[in-house]
């Protein structure tokens, strides 16, 4: 059994860490948010007061944080994880942080004799709860081999993509597609509503037609159709608007560097940026549909002709 430290016990971190607890590992966790700490404790994660306390004596450290600068903050510097880990330990970063940041952290980990694997995930909170995440790994084979048994408790498709940063490369491209299809699902749902189409019938037809996608299927943005979609739970995240905006920014920056046009991604990024600016940044990304004009109705209420002139 491994001594594990977990930094970042948010929407994804808690269910993922809980699977390691369930598999019999000792997991010490740290988060700056009190509610997150309480939820984690209820899931069997032992609370630690600081990053240094959490990682001392750990074989493997997981980070599941919002963005690259936050991961950098908790790993580097005198109070960071690298400074308090024994040589030979491995850090697994499951956050989405971009390629360059992952490679930079890999190099800085190396200076401390610590391994660093970028391991961004896909599958959402539901995938985290069901241990059915896809994990895309970048790093040295020896480190990947060491952490793979732990990752098998968290995900169902684990692939070593290549060298450091390659997991993030895969994730950047995947999430560019996810962001586009989510924005398209939101626009389509609003149009369907305006046309007076019943949301359930609209959903059932698209599911069997060419407009279907993973985001449409799992994160249908009108309430009351897909019980597990955040839209059916008051648009509570799930996956926050600010996080998909960050992912699309990473995609456009990467595309610029490699001289690739990404006009559709840029448009989706602008829509999520506007949603964030109007105060929806901490809501689930399905709330984009509300920003685009979707009307939330009481369960069972049909769309009607009034929608056409609303």
Which residues from 45-84 bind ligand NAD, rule CB under 6 A?
A: 64-66, 70, 73-74
Q: Which of 196, 215, 211, 223 is nearest to 300 (CA)?
A: 223
Decide if residue 85 touches ligand NAD (CB under 6 A).
no
* Residues 267-289: b if buried by 16+ CB within 10 A, e if exposed: ebbebbbebbeeebbebbbbbbb
Decide if residue 7 touches ligand NAD (CB under 6 A).
yes
Q: Is 61 helix (H, G, I), strand (E, B) or coil?
A: strand
* Residues 102-116: b if buried by 16+ CB within 10 A, e if exposed: bbbbbebbeebebbb
- Residues tagged active-site: 171
Determine the size of the site formed for ligand NAD (CB under 6 A). 28
Decide if residue 124 touches ligand NAD (CB under 6 A).
yes
Output the smallest distance, CB 267 to ligand NAD, in A: 20
Decide if residue 220 touches ligand NAD (CB under 6 A).
no
Q: Which of 109, 22, 100 is nearest to 63 (CA)?
A: 109
Nearest to ligand NAD of 101, 225 (CB atom): 101
Output the smallest distance, CB 121 to ligand NAD, in A: 5
Nearest to ligand NAD of 174, 200 (CB atom): 174
Tokens of residue 112, six digits: 């401390």
Nearest to ligand NAD of 4, 74 (CB atom): 74
Q: Which helix (H) or strand (E) holds 143?
A: helix 141-151
Tell me the residue nearest to ligand NAD as measured from the CB: 10
- Interface contacts to ligand NAD, rule CB under 6 A: 7-13, 30-33, 36, 64-66, 70, 73-74, 95-96, 121-122, 124-125, 238-239, 243, 247
């Amino acid at each position: 059994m491994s001594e594990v430290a977990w930094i970042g016990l948010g929407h994804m971190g808690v269910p993922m860490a809980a699977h390691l607890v369930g598999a019999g590992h000792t997991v010490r966790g740290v988060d700056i948010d009190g509610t997150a700490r309480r939820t984690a404790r209820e899931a069997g994660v032992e609370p630690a007061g600081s990053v240094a306390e959490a990682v001392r004596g750990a074989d493997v450290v997981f980070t599941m944080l919002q963005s690259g600068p936050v991961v950098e903050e908790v790993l580097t510097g005198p109070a960071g994880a690298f400074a308090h880990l024994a040589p030979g330990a491995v850090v697994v970063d499951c956050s989405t942080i971009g390629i360059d940041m992952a490679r930079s952290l890999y190099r800085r980990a190396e200076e401390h004799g610590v391994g660093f694997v970028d391991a961004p995930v896909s599958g959402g909170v539901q995938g985290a709860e069901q241990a059915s995440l896809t994990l895309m790994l970048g790093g040295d084979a020896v480190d990947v081999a060491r952490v793979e048994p732990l990752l098998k408790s968290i995900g169902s498709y684990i692939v070593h993509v290549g060298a450091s940063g390659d997991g993030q490369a895969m994730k950047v491209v995947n999430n560019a597609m996810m962001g586009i299809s989510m924005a398209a699902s939101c626009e389509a749902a609003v149009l369907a509503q305006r046309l007076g189409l019943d949301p359930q019938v609209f959903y059932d037809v698209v599911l069997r037609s060419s407009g279907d996608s993973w985001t449409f299927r799992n994160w249908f943005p009108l309430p009351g159709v897909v019980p597990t979609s955040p839209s059916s739970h008051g648009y509570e995240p799930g996956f926050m608007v600010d996080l998909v905006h960050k992912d699309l920014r990473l995609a456009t920056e990467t595309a610029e560097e490699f001289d690739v046009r990404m006009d559709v991604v840029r448009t989706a990024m602008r829509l999520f940026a506007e949603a964030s600016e109007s105060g929806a940044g901490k809501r689930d990304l399905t709330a984009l549909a509300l920003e685009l004009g979707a009307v939330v109705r009481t369960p069972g209420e049909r769309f009607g002709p009034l929608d056409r002139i609303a």
